Structures are given as structure tokens and as C-alpha cells.
């Protein structure tokens, strides 16, 4: 692909371009589209749940379908919506922030996306093939080991495939940050979003293998007759709970740390001040990641691990409040005395601070093992984790999307629609979830299909459902905003927000090679450093020369498709042996394509110096 290919092309060529792309910016688009699709799907599932609970003893959906709804809502939102959207932002921004031309392994980057996408599709195929998984997003054994439909099988295979993709993404980002920083970009000059990407990738690296093993064990039990969770043959269900939470607790930090990074970019930019306490922010991020690995058993306080284990995990959990508190105060201090611009990105950040702090406070309440016996499995827990996941991650995603939209797509999102959307969502969010704290304290258990009349739960549930609709309207407004912007939106300059970091030093959207010449970084907030010196851009660190670029490839798509086919084979071979062929064919396609990839040399291509010179600056 050369510059000539960037001319107007037909839809087929456009599609082919995206199917084969290894460009981190285009893969970011794919992640945002894929994650956005599943976000809508998960949102619809949430709506169904809340409509069912709008009134006592409602019969909008059946009990079985309700189980499938809340299972898929949780699974979809965590694995298929929040994570891919975050990976999308990381892909779009992190390489630009460190002054790199792409990620370390462009091919793997593409493979990671397609594995996620096919895993997500496989999981959602279950809706049409005899029922979705219905054992909760935590899929606790023995329930998940004996659940009669193929639902849990889809859960196991879908997550296994998409999880492999995420792991690749994590390793890729780590290698990129270690080897591909621009000259002068030392570790302690990296923007906070890059730092959180780095730490998050470490968490992905160490947390996902536990899930991989857990899923394998469950798969073997369900499909190949092993006995890990079969008590009659000496198995033990608690193994699943440990493996799952050893993964899933770091997973919530995998979700929250990147958005901490987003806020640490948005707040300084719109306060016109450097981030307060940069060093403490970096170390707080690491400390959260470190502690995040030692607290998983707080999800298991009522299992009966014993008072010693419970006490250890309770104290470790409370300790996490310290680095998180450091971050909250640093953001507040960044704004203190700053010249603050209130726009959509900043509104989401401002809304985040109180919302997330409430979620953090209830977290400390839940961390107390004795009190947890009361809260456990009640709506109090539901309220808590929605305050941190929605009030933290979703707010952060919206802030990040508003902030980086011009950089990613070249147009600025409409401010008016953005602000209306924020207020609707903010009010809807608190309406939905604040009341759930009290529903929980009054004894409403989570995951129940119906509740009875006149137990003091009616009004609370009604209010909660109304709030959900406000959030749904807000999400719709955001979609309208996207369409409006892409048709009529204001074209963005290279630096529409008077930014501080490297991504604002190149055009919006950036050229496919990102930096014509790698920039020379002279300090933290490199672009701001130059602006303060009266220059409008960074000095180049190298003379203009040929740029080495990776070739596009369709193989990632084919490999993922192979695993997708094999997934069906694994699921259905328990019904009929003939399905073993699907395993062989699928694995054959996947492994064959991998072999092809390793046997065929791929040296990439060069953009010549002459070609670069011809291009207008």
C-alpha cells in the first residue's frame, strides 16, 4: 500500500483494507466498532433485566431467560465491551504518545483483535443455538459444570478464544513500550496513559493465564469427562473459584487503570496545568497493580476460608484505598488553581471523581469480612461494582472518546450533544444504582428473577429502572453524535485542545506512518515543553529517511476463523462424533495459516524518502 492507494476506493476495497490491516490506528477503529457493538448488546440485556424488575412479580421474561440475560450482560460488558473499548483507546493513542510508528508486533495486534471478535461472536451465537450461558458471569462450579444446555460450553470456548487475543494485546503493548519509545522518551517522561497501559498489560499478562487454565478445566469436565469439579471422584469446586478470582480481581484493575490514565490526560489538559504529583501517580498505579493480585479472596469471604485467610485478604483489600486515594487527591490538586475549561471530556472526568469515590467507599465497607456476610450476594454488591465499573470505566471511556475523537477520526464531537448526553447519563446512573445500595441493605438478593410485593422493594426498583432508560437515551445520543459528527462535524486541527503530549504534535488523523521523523523528547509533556519555548513543534531526532512498514495480511482473520470453527466442533462433539471433523478442519485452518505465516518471509516494505518529501506537511 502506498500513498496512491489512499485515493477514493469502493466499499469492497475499504472492507478488505480493514480485514487485512496491521496499522494500530485502524485496529483501534476495529476495536471501537466491535466493542461498541457488544456494548449496545450488553446494554440491551441490562434493559431487559431492569424491565423485568420494574414491578413485583413481573413476567416480562421467563426465569431461565432471566438467568441467561444477567449472565450474558456481565460477560459481555466485561470481556466484550469494556476491555476491547479500552484496548481500542490504547491502540489508538499509546504508540503516538511514545513517538512510535506502530506497535512491536503489528501482525499479532491484528490477530488479537480478530480472536476477540470471533470469540465474542461465538459466545453470542449461543442465543440462537439452544440458549445462552446461564451460570452467571462467574460461572461457579458445580452449577456451571452441570448446566444442561450448551450455553456454558459457548461461554468456555468464546472466552478462551477472546482471552487469547487479549493476552497477545498485552504482550504486544509491553514490548512496544520497552523497545519503541522515541529518543529522549525516558520512562519517567511517559504520559500517564502510557504508564497505565504498561501496568495494565502486565496485569493482563499475569492474570489471564489463570482464566485460561480455569476455562480448560471446566471445558475438560464438561466435554471430556474429567473430574476436577466432580466431588464424587474427589474433585473440588473451590478450585474454580480461586482460579476465576485470581484472574477476575486483577481484571477489574485491568479495566480501571487505563481510565485512570485517561483522566490523568484529560484533567491536566483542560486545567492548563501539569499533572500534580506525576511520580506519585506512577507509583500509585504500580502499587494498585501489585496489591490487586493479593486480594482476590475477598470475593470468597462467605465460602468459609477461615478467619485467618479472611482477615489477611480484608486488610490487603483496605490497603488498596491508599494508592487510589492518592490518585483522587492528585486529580483534585491538578485542577486546583488551574484555568479550567468545562467541555464534555472534562464533564465526564468531573462526574467520575464523586461517583467513583462512592464506589470506593462501599468497596471498603465490603472489604470488612464480618460485614460482608450481610452484604454478600445482595444488591449492595451490585450497586458497588456498578459504581466502580460504570462510574469509573464507562465515564472514563466517554471522557477518552470525547478527548481523542479528533485525533482518531479527524473531527471534533459535537459539544452540545456531548453535554446533554453526559447529564442524562450522570443522573440516570445515580438514579439506577444509588437506590440499589438500599435495596441490598433491605435484603434484596442479586440474580433473582422476581421480588414480592410490599416488602419495601417496589419503589426502589421502579426508580432504578427509570434511571436505566435515561442511560439508554444518553447512549443513543452518543450514537447520534457520532453520525452527526462524521457528516457535519468540525474538522479538527492537529492540536484542537492545546494538548501537552506527543499525539497532538502530528496531524488529526495521523498519517499511516505516524511520524515522518521521530521526534526528540525533551521532558515530561513534550509538546508543552516546546510550546513554552516558543516553538510550535518538536525537533526531529533523525534525518528524513526511508520508513520501514509492515505488510497487511488476511492471515489473522483466517486463523481466528479457524479457531471459531474448531470452537463449534468442541462444543458439539459431545452430541455427535461427526463434529470432530469441525475440530480438525478448524484447527487445520488455524494451524496451517500459522505455519504459512512462519514459512513465508515477511520483510514489510519501505516508504521511500522521495515519497515522504513529496507529501505536503
Q: Which of residues 174-203 bind another protein (CB under 8 A)?
A: 174-176, 178-180, 202
Is there a contact between 239 and 217 (Cβ–Cβ < 8 Å)?
yes
Q: Rounded to the nearest whole angstrom, what is the least distance from the CB of residue 195 to another protein in the complex?
A: 15
Query: What CA dihedral angle connects 133, 136, 137 and 141, to 10 degrees?
Result: -90
Is there a contact between 81 and 42 (Cβ–Cβ < 8 Å)?
yes
The span from the CA of 534 to the CA of 436, in Å, is: 53
Q: Does 278 bind another protein (CB under 8 A)?
A: no
Q: Does 242 bind another protein (CB under 8 A)?
A: yes
Q: Rounded to the nearest whole angstrom, what is the least distance from the CB of residue 493 to another protein in the complex?
A: 31
Q: Does 90 bind another protein (CB under 8 A)?
A: no
Site for another protein (CB under 8 A): which residue of 216, 283, 385, 561?
216
Q: Is 453 exposed, middle or buried (0-12, 13-18, 19+ CB in 10 A)?
A: exposed
- Site size toward another protein, by CB under 8 A: 59
Site for another protein (CB under 8 A): which residue of 72, 243, 346, 412?
243
The span from the CA of 20 to the CA of 553, in Å, is: 5
Q: Grid coordinates representing 128?
A: 440462537
Q: Rounded to the nearest whole angstrom, what is the least distance from the CB of residue 293 to another protein in the complex?
A: 6
The span from the CA of 83 to the CA of 116, in Å, is: 10
Site for another protein (CB under 8 A): which residue of 305, 340, 441, 473?
305
Q: Rounded to the nearest whole angstrom, what is the least distance from the CB of residue 617 to another protein in the complex?
A: 21
- Is the Cβ of residue 272 or residue 606 nearer to another protein in the bound state? 606
The span from the CA of 441 to the CA of 436, in Å, is: 8
Q: Does 127 bind another protein (CB under 8 A)?
A: no
For residues 218 to 237, the per-residue mask of contacts with another protein, x marking binding by CB under 8 A and - elsewhere, is --xx--xxxxx-x-xxxxx-
Q: Rounded to the nearest whole angstrom, what is the least distance from the CB of residue 451 to another protein in the complex?
A: 34
DSSP 38-67: HHHHHHHHHHHHHHHTSSTT--SS-HHHHH
Q: Rounded to the nearest whole angstrom, what is the least distance from the CB of residue 282 to another protein in the complex?
A: 15
- Is the Cβ of residue 35 or residue 106 nearer to another protein in the bound state? 106
Q: Does 80 bind another protein (CB under 8 A)?
A: no
- Is the Cβ of residue 186 or residue 493 nearer to another protein in the bound state? 186
Helix then strand then coil, in percent of the chain rounded to 5, is 70, 0, 25
Q: Does 214 bind another protein (CB under 8 A)?
A: yes
Q: What are phi and psi of 295, to 5 degrees?
A: -125, 5
- Give the angle subtended at the CA of 132 by the CAs of 129 and 137, to the nearest 5°: 155
Tell me 352's DSSP state: H
Q: Does 207 bind another protein (CB under 8 A)?
A: yes
Q: Rounded to the nearest whole angstrom, what is the least distance from the CB of residue 206 to another protein in the complex?
A: 4
- Is the Cβ of residue 313 or residue 380 nearer to another protein in the bound state? 313
For residues 529 to 568, the per-residue mask of contacts with another protein, x marking binding by CB under 8 A and - elsewhere, is -------------x--xx-x--------------------
Q: Grid coordinates representing 181?
A: 519509545
Site for another protein (CB under 8 A): which residue of 533, 575, 601, 617?
601
Task: Annotate 406-449 with three-state secondary structure.
Answer: HHHHCEECCHHHHHHHHHHHHHHHHHHHHHHHHHHHCCCECCCC
Neighbours of 353 (CB within 10 A): 17
| Radius of gyration, alpha carbons of the chain | 24
First to last CA, the chain: 20
Site for another protein (CB under 8 A): which residue of 293, 438, 484, 561?
293
For residues 95 to 124, the per-residue mask of contacts with another protein, x marking binding by CB under 8 A and - elsewhere, is ---------xx-------------------
Q: Which of residues 141-170 bind another protein (CB under 8 A)?
A: 167
The span from the CA of 127 to the CA of 505, in Å, is: 46
Q: Rounded to the nearest whole angstrom, what is the least distance from the CB of residue 235 to another protein in the complex?
A: 4
Binding residues for another protein, rule: CB under 8 A, are 104-105, 167, 171-172, 174-176, 178-180, 202, 205-210, 212-214, 216-217, 220-221, 224-228, 230, 232-236, 238-239, 242-243, 246, 293-294, 296-297, 304-306, 309, 542, 545-546, 548, 595, 598-599, 601, 603, 606
Amino acid at each position: 500500500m502506498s500513498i496512491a492507494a489512499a485515493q477514493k476506493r469502493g466499499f469492497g476495497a475499504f472492507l478488505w483494507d480493514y480485514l487485512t490491516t496491521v496499522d494500530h490506528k485502524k485496529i483501534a477503529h476495529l476495536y471501537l466498532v466491535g466493542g461498541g457493538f457488544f456494548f449496545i448488546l450488553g446494554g440491551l440485556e441490562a434493559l431487559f433485566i431492569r424491565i423485568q424488575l420494574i414491578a413485583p412479580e413481573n413476567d416480562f421474561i421467563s426465569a431461565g431467560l432471566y438467568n441467561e440475560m444477567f449472565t450474558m450482560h456481565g460477560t459481555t460488558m466485561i470481556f466484550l465491551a469494556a476491555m476491547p473499548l479500552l484496548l481500542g483507546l490504547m491502540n489508538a493513542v499509546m504508540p503516538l504518545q511514545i513517538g512510535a510508528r506502530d506497535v512491536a508486533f503489528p501482525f499479532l495486534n491484528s490477530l488479537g483483535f480478530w480472536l476477540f471478535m470471533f470469540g465474542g461472536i461465538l459466545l453470542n451465537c449461543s442465543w440462537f443455538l439452544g440458549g445462552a450461558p446461564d451460570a452467571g458471569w462467574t460461572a461457579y462450579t458445580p452449577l456451571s459444570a452441570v448446566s444442561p444446555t450448551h450455553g456454558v460450553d459457548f461461554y468456555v470456548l468464546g472466552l478462551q478464544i477472546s482471552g487469547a487475543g487479549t493476552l497477545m494485546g498485552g504482550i504486544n503493548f509491553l514490548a512496544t513500550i520497552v523497545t519503541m519509545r522515541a529518543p529522549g522518551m525516558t520512562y519517567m517522561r511517559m504520559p500517564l496513559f502510557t504508564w497505565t497501559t504498561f501496568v495494565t498489560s502486565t496485569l493482563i499478562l499475569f492474570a489471564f493465564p489463570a482464566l485460561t487454565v480455569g476455562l480448560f478445566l471446566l471445558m475438560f469436565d464438561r466435554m471430556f469427562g474429567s473430574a476436577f469439579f466432580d466431588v464424587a471422584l474427589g474433585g473440588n469446586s473451590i478450585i474454580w473459584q480461586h482460579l476465576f478470582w485470581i484472574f477476575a480481581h486483577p481484571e477489574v484493575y485491568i479495566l480501571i487503570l487505563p481510565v485512570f490514565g485517561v483522566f490523568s490526560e484529560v484533567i491536566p489538559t483542560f486545567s492548563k496545568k501539569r499533572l500534580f504529583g506525576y511520580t506519585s501517580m506512577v507509583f500509585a498505579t504500580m502499587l494498585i497493580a501489585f496489591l490487586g493480585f493479593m486480594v482476590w479472596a475477598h470475593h470468597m469471604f462467605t465460602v468459609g476460608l477461615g478467619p485467618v485467610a479472611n482477615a489477611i485478604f480484608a486488610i490487603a483489600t483496605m490497603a488498596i484505598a491508599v494508592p487510589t486515594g492518592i490518585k483522587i487527591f492528585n486529580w483534585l490538586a491538578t485542577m486546583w488553581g488551574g484555568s479550567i475549561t468545562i467541555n464534555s471530556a472534562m464533564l465526564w472526568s468531573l462526574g467520575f471523581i464523586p461517583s467513583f469515590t462512592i464506589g470506593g467507599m462501599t468497596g471498603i465497607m465490603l472489604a470488612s469480612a464480618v460485614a460482608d456476610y450481610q452484604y454478600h450476594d445482595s444488591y449492595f454488591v451490585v450497586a458497588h461494582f456498578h459504581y466502580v465499573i460504570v462510574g469509573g470505566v464507562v465515564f472514563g471511556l466517554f471522557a477518552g472518546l470525547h478527548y481523542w475523537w479528533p485525533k482518531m477520526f479527524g473531527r471534533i464531537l459535537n459539544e452540545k450533544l456531548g453535554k446533554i448526553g453526559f447529564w442524562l447519563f450522570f443522573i440516570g446512573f445515580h438514579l439506577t444504582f444509588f437506590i440499589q445500595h438500599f435495596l441490598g441493605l433491605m435484603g434484596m438478593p442479586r440474580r433473582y428473577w422476581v421480588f414480592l410485593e410490599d416488602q419495601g422493594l417496589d419503589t426502589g426498583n421502579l426508580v432504578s429502572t427509570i434511571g436505566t432508560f435515561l442511560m439508554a437515551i444518553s447512549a443513543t445520543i452518543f450514537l447520534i453524535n457520532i453520525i452527526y459528527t462524521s457528516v457535519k462535524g468540525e474538522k479538527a486541527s492537529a492540536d484542537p485542545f492545546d494538548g501537552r503530549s506527543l499525539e497532538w504534535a502530528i496531524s488529526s488523523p495521523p498519517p499511516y506512518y505516524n511520524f515522518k521523523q521521530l521526534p526528540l523528547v525533551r521532558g515530561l509533556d513534550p509538546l508543552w515543553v516546546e510550546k513554552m519555548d516558543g516553538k510550535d513543534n518538536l525537533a526531529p531526532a533523525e534525518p528524513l529517511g526511508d520508513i520501514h512498514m509492515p505488510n497487511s495480511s488476511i492471515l489473522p482473520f483466517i486463523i481466528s476463523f479457524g479457531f471459531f470453527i474448531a470452537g463449534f466442533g468442541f462444543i458439539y462433539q459431545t452430541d455427535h462424533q461427526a463434529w470432530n471433523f469441525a475440530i480438525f478442519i478448524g484447527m487445520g485452518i488455524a494451524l496451517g495459516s500459522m505455519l504459512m505465516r512462519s514459512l513465508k518471509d515477511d520483510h514489510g516494505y519501505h516508504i521511500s524518502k522521495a515519497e515522504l518529501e513529496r507529501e505536503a506537511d
